[in-house]
């Protein structure tokens, strides 16, 4: 059985005017369907990407998979457990939270500006009670910082003392602190410069190998997805219009929308072809 | 070789911070010709937006032009840009939401611009506005609509129409497509290419996206720490970059390719220095694999009109 | 400390005369009040030391009967005005600080709840705030004061005077805190670090106190400074109107009231000196608060 199963995920938003205004203006209800019966599955250790433009529903799906948002219909199963099932009590939900973490788009808004980064990374360890001993906790934080390419001396610094790329690394360290199995990456490099983006993407690749992580990658950038994901789902207006292994998708796109996206994406590949670099 | 439309000659833009004077743009020289699209590419803080602002005369204290000249159509404009800005040189910014007045119909905004720059009647201006809308791909019957009724991409087209209204010789476009969806982005870039070709308008396209550069520009200037690293025809610079920074940038840009999943992206170590931390000599040397003693001591000039690197000397 | 001395904030401070002067003035006044028992030549609250014959002595002139000289003269009961002002400042400042503290704690808490939890909490708290703001705060303070005095048993009224005063002024000033904090909370709660906190499994209260609160406090400092000045003036007003501190322990407001009665009969000093002190205190706090708000405004950086 696949590790992550999204089944007929649907999410409606009620944008209607209040009842009385509707009666006066004789207007019908205004329901926005952000996600419309989307189903996909991710195998353990895989990197699955959801690509789409604004309004495609990809961020909403990310929120539902992470458990932050309840679907209006459909379900999410992680390793066989229904994320929104009634059986789950507080403790089980807490544990489920530990298995899924997220890395966000904005390096500026994803870290609490008033907290030292050592404490930011320590917080999930404390919250999930992973390590009890204080000394061991500090050791673990130092270890995590090292894994993302930062140093132990950085624990007492504040987020504003770091660059955008470094802040994303801190976010990744925080995500890793829970010892998750799945990391949802929501446009993690869209706000970064090209050279920094390369560093962060390479880091994510290394971490996936080292910790056997499963990634759900959300992006609008096909070039970035090409580097990161082995399977891609294309979203348009809340519907999954095509899904394929990445090589297959780029070589033989089937849906009109996919073809349009591929041709529209600004691609340095018009001049530069990748050479096999080892 | 025709005369350049705009020439930037050893321009420096500085920032006075307490007791230090920092350089946001350092000794930059560039030429732009009519009908071409010149890309100004660099990472955040490289000085590309600052250069655009300097051309438009939008440098405000604590920033100031500390040296150099900007020459447009043979005349010096860096000291008095008010007459040129908005008429012969116009601009397009990143966010169409704030570039348009939400309280005014787009037709009114267009007509006002036309009347300001040309001695025509309101009716004539109206007709011109309609033809402008058609040129940028908007249905002219929507001339009386308000900006909020348009999508992001359409709004950016309106902004382009507004930029075209004074019949400028040069348009400075600062990240015009960064906030737009991919499909819309392609349409806007095609529109810019069409305008350069059909009207002969020169366009300076400021961006951080190498893919956009590849698809849209004729020539490209690569900026690093406020200085020009490399300049040349886009096809040359991207296929055969001479400056190590350009090489690194090109190699680290992700591309859509069946093979790219298996490889790691090339990464340039370190990061571009802050304004108050620019090293001596070539600003890129701490991150450069090929740096030698000369690179650490002396700033390289532009060799062969192509690359500011001591290794390009021959 | 060294880092502070080199910071941009301190640099602006050193370069703005208004900031330095106003800071110096109110620091002097506060220190004078704190060390009143050392500086003041007399203790005006000790009825035994008073000599009615000393009453109405002009400043720096020997009294006709006792020959004593007083720096700022005496009031109608023979109290040395200088000492009384110093001790009165203590009461004014104490009431001011405590009232602001109450307003701040209440306002920040309600603002956080309204902003973060939203829904009915938001509606109730904000509409109540709107209603309260339609009344001048002095009126609200008097209302609460009157109700409290009516509720308390008569023997406690005297002792609880100051507490009631603090509560009534504090409760009348919570709204600006709440509104500002609510606004900042609404902005912060959309940010991704809050989502990250949810993903770590923190509950609503933990998120509110640990994560949102530190980030919404900076405007609170400025509001607190300005509210402090307002609270001092409110206390003076209430005392002036006769509903504040008891007359045996006069505050600045009481002195002004007393002085007002005697202004046109020639004993001008009883009104002038307390009034100038009150003016200096309120003005310096306001000016400093204004400067603080402008300097800390991130948009101006």
- Tell which residue, B213, B143, B116, has the closest CA to residue B173: B213
Amino acid B79: pLDDT: 78
Mean pLDDT of chain C: 84
In a domain, B144, yes or no: no
Q: Is residue A188 pLDDT above 60, yes or no?
A: yes
Residue of A nearest to C210 (CA): A115
Average pLDDT over residues C10-15: 78
CB pair distance less than 8 Å for A268 and B189: no
CB pair distance less than 8 Å for A102 and C195: yes
The DSSP call for residue B307 is B
The DSSP call for residue C274 is H
| Nearest beta carbon to residue A272 from set B216, B238, B268 | B238
CB pair distance less than 8 Å for A223 and B211: yes
ipTM confidence score: 0.85
Amino acid C288: pLDDT: 87
DSSP string, chain A: --SEEEEEEEEEEE-PPPHHHHHHHT----EEEEEEEEEEEE-TT-EEEEE--TTSSHHHHHHHHHTSS--SEEEEEETTEETT-TT--HHHHHHHHHHEEEE-S-TTTSS-TTS-HHHHHHHHHHHTT----HHHHHHHHHHHHHHTT--GGGGG--GGGS-HHHHHHHHHHHHHHT--SEEEEESTTTTS-HHHHHHHHHHHHHHHHHHT-EEEEEES-HHHHHHH-SEEEEEETTEEEEEEEHHHHHHS--SHHHHHHHHHS--GGGT-------
Q: Which residues contact C174 (CB under 8 A, 6 or more apart)?
A: C102, C103, C104, C106, C107, C110, C129
CA atoms within 13 A on the CB side of C255: 34
Size of interface A-C (CB pairs under 8 A): 51
Average pLDDT over residues C13-31: 86
Domain count, chain A: 1
In a domain, B40, yes or no: yes
CB pair distance less than 8 Å for C200 and A124: yes
Interface test with C, best of A96, A102, A109, A216 (most C CBs within 10 A): A109
In a domain, C52, yes or no: no
Taking the alpha carbons at both ends of chain C, their separation in whole angstroms is 22
Domain count, chain B: 1
CATH code for position B188: 3.40.50.300
CB pair distance less than 8 Å for C196 and A100: no
Decide if A194 touches B, using CB distance below 8 A: yes
The 10s digit of each residue's pLDDT in C76-132 is 777 788 888 888 888 888 889 999 999 999 999 999 999 999 889 999 999 999 999
The domain in which residue C124 lies consists of 2-37+72-300
Q: Is residue A274 pLDDT above 60, yes or no?
A: no
In a domain, B150, yes or no: no
In a domain, C280, yes or no: yes
Query: In chain A, what residues touch C196 (CB-CB under 8 Å)?
Result: 102, 104, 110, 171, 174
The 10s digit of each residue's pLDDT in B246-298 is 999 998 888 887 777 778 888 888 888 888 888 888 999 999 988 888 888 88
- Kindly report the nearest CA distance between residue A274 and chain B, in angstroms: 8
Q: Is residue A87 pLDDT above 70, yes or no?
A: no
The 10s digit of each residue's pLDDT in C121-151 is 999 999 999 999 898 888 888 888 888 878 8
In a domain, A104, yes or no: yes
Task: Give percent of chain B above pLDDT 70.
Answer: 99
Q: Is residue C176 pLDDT above 60, yes or no?
A: yes
Per-residue pLDDT band at B81 (split at 50, 70, 90) = low
Query: In chain A, what residues touch C192 (CB-CB under 8 Å)?
Result: 104-106, 109-110
Give the 3-state secondary structure of residue B41: strand
- Kindly report the nearest CA distance between residue B119 and chain A, in angstroms: 41
- Kindly report the nearest CA distance between residue A177 and chain B, in angstroms: 24
pTM: 0.84
Task: Give percent of chain C above pLDDT 70.
Answer: 94
Query: In chain B, what residues touch A210 (CB-CB under 8 Å)?
Result: none
Residues making up chain B, counted from first to last? 314
Task: Give percent of chain C above pLDDT 90.
Answer: 26
- Kindly report the nearest CA distance between residue B246 and chain A, in angstroms: 11
Mean pLDDT of chain A: 88
Amino acid C299: pLDDT: 52
Q: Is residue B158 pLDDT above 70, yes or no?
A: yes
In a domain, B112, yes or no: no
Query: In chain A, what residues touch B237 (CB-CB under 8 Å)?
Result: none
The domain in which residue B247 lies consists of 6-88+166-312
In a domain, C283, yes or no: yes
Task: Give percent of chain A above pLDDT 70.
Answer: 94
Query: In chain C, what residues touch A127 (CB-CB under 8 Å)?
Result: 200-202
In a domain, C67, yes or no: no
Amino acid B256: pLDDT: 84
- Kindly report the nearest CA distance between residue A92 and chain C, in angstroms: 11
In a domain, B140, yes or no: no
Per-residue pLDDT band at A92 (split at 50, 70, 90) = low
Average pLDDT over residues B166-181: 89
Domain count, chain C: 1
CATH code for position A70: 3.40.50.300
In a domain, A276, yes or no: no
Interface test with A, best of C189, C190, C201 (most A CBs within 10 A): C201
Structure-model confidence comparison of residues A14 and A254, the more confident one: A254
Query: In chain B, what residues touch A221 (CB-CB under 8 Å)?
Result: 182, 254
Lowest mean per-residue pLDDT among A198-212, A260-274, B49-63? A260-274
CB pair distance less than 8 Å for B215 and A196: no
Amino acid C205: pLDDT: 93
Average pLDDT over residues C168-177: 92
Q: Is residue A278 pLDDT above 50, yes or no?
A: no
CATH code for position C118: 1.10.3720.10
Amino acid C59: pLDDT: 77
CB pair distance less than 8 Å for A266 and B214: yes
Amino acid C116: pLDDT: 94
Query: In chain C, what residues touch A98 (CB-CB under 8 Å)?
Result: 201
The 10s digit of each residue's pLDDT in B17-59 is 878 888 999 999 999 999 999 999 998 888 899 999 899 888 8
Query: In chain A, what residues touch B248 (CB-CB under 8 Å)?
Result: 195
Mean pLDDT of chain B: 89
Amino acid B244: pLDDT: 93
The domain in which residue A27 lies consists of 4-270
The 10s digit of each residue's pLDDT in C255-288 is 888 888 888 887 788 888 888 888 898 899 888 8
Amino acid A36: pLDDT: 92
In a domain, A241, yes or no: yes
Average pLDDT over residues A54-81: 89
* Contact present, C300 and C294 (Cβ < 8 Å): yes
Amino acid A93: pLDDT: 65
CB pair distance less than 8 Å for B252 and A273: no
Decide if A268 touches B, using CB distance below 8 A: yes
Interface test with B, best of A224, A259, A267 (most B CBs within 10 A): A267
Compute and round to an integer the Cα radius of gyration of chain B.
Answer: 21
Q: Is residue C26 pLDDT above 60, yes or no?
A: yes
Token match 């920074």: residue?
B245
Lowest mean per-residue pLDDT among A19-23, B179-183, B216-220, B237-241? A19-23
Token match 């056997």: residue?
A212
Per-residue pLDDT band at A216 (split at 50, 70, 90) = very high
CB pair distance less than 8 Å for A104 and C202: no
């Amino acid at each position: 059985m696949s590790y992550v199963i999204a089944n007929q995920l649907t999410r409606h938003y009620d944008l209607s005017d209040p009842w009385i205004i509707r009666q006066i203006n004789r207007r019908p209800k205004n329901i926005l369907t952000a996600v419309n019966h989307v189903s996909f599955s991710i195998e353990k250790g895989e990197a699955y990407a959801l690509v789409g433009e604004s309004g495609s529903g990809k961020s909403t799906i990310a929120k539902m998979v992470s458990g932050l948002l309840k679907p209006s219909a459909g379900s999410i199963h992680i390793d066989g457990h229904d994320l929104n099932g009634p059986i789950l009590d507080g403790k089980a939900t807490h544990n489920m939270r530990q298995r899924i973490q997220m890395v966000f788009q904005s390096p500026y808004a994803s870290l609490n500006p008033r907290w030292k980064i050592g404490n930011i990374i320590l917080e999930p360890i404390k919250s999930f009670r992973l390590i009890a001993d204080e000394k061991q906790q500090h050791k673990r934080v130092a270890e995590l910082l090292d894994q993302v390419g930062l140093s132990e001396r950085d624990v007492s610094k504040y987020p504003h003392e770091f660059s955008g790329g470094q802040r994303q690394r801190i976010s990744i360290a925080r995500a890793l602190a829970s010892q998750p199995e799945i990391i949802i990456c929501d446009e993690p490099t869209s706000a970064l410069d090209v050279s920094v983006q390369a560093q962060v993407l390479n880091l994510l690749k290394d971490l996936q190998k080292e910790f056997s992580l499963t990634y759900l990658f959300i992006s609008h950038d096909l070039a970035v997805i090409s580097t990161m994901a082995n399977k891609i789902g294309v979203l348009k207006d809340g519907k999954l219009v095509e899904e394929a292994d990445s090589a297959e998708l780029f070589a033989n796109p089937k849906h009109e929308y996919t073809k349009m996206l591929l041709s529209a994406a600004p691609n340095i590949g018009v001049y530069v072809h990748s050479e096999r670099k080892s | 070789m025709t005369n350049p439309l705009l020439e930037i000659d050893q321009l420096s833009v500085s920032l006075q911070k307490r007791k230090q004077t920092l350089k946001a743009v350092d000794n930059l020289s560039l030429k732009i010709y009519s009908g071409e699209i010149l890309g100004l590419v660099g990472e955040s803080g490289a000085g590309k937006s600052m250069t655009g602002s300097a051309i438009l005369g939008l440098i405000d204290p604590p920033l100031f032009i500390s040296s150099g000249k900007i020459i447009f159509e043979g005349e010096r404009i860096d000291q008095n840009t008010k007459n040129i800005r908005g008429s012969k040189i116009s601009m397009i910014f990143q966010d169409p939401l704030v570039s348009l007045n939400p309280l005014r119909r787009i037709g009114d905004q267009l007509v006002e611009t036309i009347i300001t720059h040309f001695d025509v009647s309101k009716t004539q201006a109206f007709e011109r506005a309609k033809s402008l809308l058609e040129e940028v791909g908007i249905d002219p019957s929507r001339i009386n609509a308000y900006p909020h009724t348009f999508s992001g991409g359409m709004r950016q087209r309106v902004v382009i129409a507004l930029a075209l209204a004074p019949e400028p010789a040069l348009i400075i476009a600062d990240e015009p497509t960064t906030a737009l969806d991919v499909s819309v982005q392609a349409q806007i870039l095609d529109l810019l290419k069409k305008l350069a070709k059909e009207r002969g308008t020169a366009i300076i396209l400021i961006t951080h996206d190498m893919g956009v550069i590849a698809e849209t520009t004729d020539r490209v200037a690569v900026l690093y720490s406020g200085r020009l690293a490399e300049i040349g025809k886009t096809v040359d610079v991207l296929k055969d970059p001479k400056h190590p920074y350009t090489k690194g940038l090109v190699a680290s840009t992700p591309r859509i390719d069946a093979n790219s999943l298996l490889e790691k992206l090339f990464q340039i170590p370190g990061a571009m220095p802050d304004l108050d931390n620019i090293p001596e000599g070539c600003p890129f040397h701490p991150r450069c694999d090929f740096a030698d003693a000369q690179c650490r001591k002396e700033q390289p000039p532009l060799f062969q009109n192509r690359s500011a690197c001591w290794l390009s000397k021959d | 400390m060294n880092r502070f001395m080199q910071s941009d904030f301190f640099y602006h401070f050193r370069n703005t005369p208004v900031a330095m002067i106003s800071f110096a003035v109110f620091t002097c006044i506060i220190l004078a009040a704190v060390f009143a028992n050392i500086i003041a030549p007399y203790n005006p609250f000790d009825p035994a030391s008073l000599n009615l014959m000393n009453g109405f002595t002009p400043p720096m002139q020997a009294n006709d009967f006792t020959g004593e000289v007083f720096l700022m003269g005496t009031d109608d009961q023979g109290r040395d005005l200088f000492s009384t002002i110093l001790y009165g400042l203590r009461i004014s400042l104490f009431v001011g600080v405590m009232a602001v503290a109450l307003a701040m704690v209440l306002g920040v808490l309600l603002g956080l709840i309204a902003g973060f939890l939203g829904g009915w909490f938001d509606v109730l708290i904000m509409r109540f705030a709107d209603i309260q703001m339609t009344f001048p705060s002095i009126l609200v303070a008097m209302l609460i004061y009157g109700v409290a005095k009516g509720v308390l048993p008569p023997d406690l009224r005297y002792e609880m005077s100051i507490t009631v005063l603090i509560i009534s002024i504090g409760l009348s000033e919570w709204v600006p805190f709440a509104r500002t904090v609510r606004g900042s909370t609404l902005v912060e709660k959309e940010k991704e670090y809050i989502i990250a906190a949810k993903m770590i499994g923190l509950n609503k209260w933990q998120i509110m106190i640990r994560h949102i609160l530190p980030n919404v406090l900076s405007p609170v400092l400025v509001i607190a400074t300005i509210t402090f000045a307002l609270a001092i003036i409110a206390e003076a007003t209430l005392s002036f109107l006769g509903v504040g501190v008891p007359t045996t322990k006069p505050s600045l407001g009481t002195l002004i009231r007393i002085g007002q009665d005697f202004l046109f009969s020639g004993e001008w000093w009883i009104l002038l000196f307390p009034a100038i002190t009150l003016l200096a205190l309120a003005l310096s706090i306001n000016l400093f608060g204004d400067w603080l708000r402008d300097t800390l405004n991130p948009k101006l950086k």
